[in-house]
Amino acid sequence: MPEKPNNDKSGERIAKVMARAGLASRREAEAWIAAGRVTVNGAVISSPALNVTSRDRIVVDGEPLPQRARTRLFRYYKPRGLVTTHADPQGRPTIFRALPKRLPRVISVGRLDINSEGLLLLTNDGGLARMLELPSTGWLRSYRVRALGRVTQEALDRLRGGITVAGIHYGAIEATLDRAQGANVWLTVGIREGKNREVRKVLEHLGLQVNRLIRVAYGPFELGELDDAEVAEVPTEELRAALGRELAAQANADFESPLEHEAASAPALHSGARPRVRERDGAKQPLDSGTRTGTRDRNDRRKKQRRDRTGGPRPKYPRPKE
């Protein structure tokens, strides 16, 4: 006979425990529970209002909940044409089907819509993902934007005070007019809230039609030299330093546990070597901090001049001023 779930107030909510194990976000975990996919001590549960401890046996879709592993973070260049979800009702291709098989089970930190590209952070720790998504973290999310139309720097400067569009208020936005290219303009845009399609909606309100949107940084983590579909792991010590003690504690990050069994048996994504440095525009900049994985041959790419899809030189990605 199944044991009754132990609703120990000293434990943690089951959805939080599932998210930390890297199975899903907390919201997705709650949906799985409502769908009857989770059992605790042999009994199917239907509500996430349950605290569990290490003594409880949690099973999801017939498989025991994985033991917690070391908190890991990956930088991924999300290509256009992929949706940021595990399963799409419309049958569109998803990022999780396109990721290298050697990665552990990961979830995304926020989303990029199907027509957007660039830096998407992936982690095996749901607690870290949730913390990094919160606007209260205050991290600047930087984008390079190409848009059809014309705009003045004066109009962009007014966004620093926030703006309300269609009844939705958006906080301070940092935007710089970089250059005009034919009928288009290139902008650098920085936001801290990350509301749904925020950059597109605000620029549309200014009379611009966004036709390319590239996220180039999320807080201290940058797209760097990654190309379409490439992945690079952020080294543990670099991740620990970027979070600092306060954010690491809020996320309940674990930097001491062993890596997942699957990752330990696969080739390492990061060599642990000191980042190489190359000269760019007269200043030294670090190359990618970890070994990258992807579907294209990097050596062939390096022999060719990197070009923007409009046919001009691929734009650099200056960071907005903090």
Active site residues: 113
Q: Compute the distance between CA of residue 54 and CA of residue 267 in angstroms, rounded to an integer.
A: 31
Amino acid at 320: P
CA dihedral for 57, 61, 64, 67, sign (positive or negative): negative
User: DSSP secondary structure string, 50-102?
Assistant: -EE-TTS-EEETTEEPPPP----EEEEEEPTT-BSSS--TT---BHHHHS-TT
Cα 215 from chain centroid (whole Å): 10
CA angle 286, 287, 289 (to 5 degrees): 95
Query: In terms of Cα–Cα distance, which of 147, 151, 83 is closest to 116?
Result: 83
Q: Which structure tokens are listed for 106?
A: 């990961």
CA angle 207, 212, 215 (to 5 degrees): 110
Phi-psi region of 31 (alpha: psi -120 to 50; beta: other; left: phi over 0): alpha
Cβ–Cβ < 8 Å for 232, 289: yes
CA angle 27, 29, 35 (to 5 degrees): 110
Amino acid at 312: G
The CA dihedral of 294, 300, 306, 312, to the nearest 10 degrees, is -120
Cβ neighbours around 264 below 10 Å, total:
11
Q: Compute the distance between CA of residue 318 and CA of residue 315 in angstroms, rounded to an integer.
A: 9
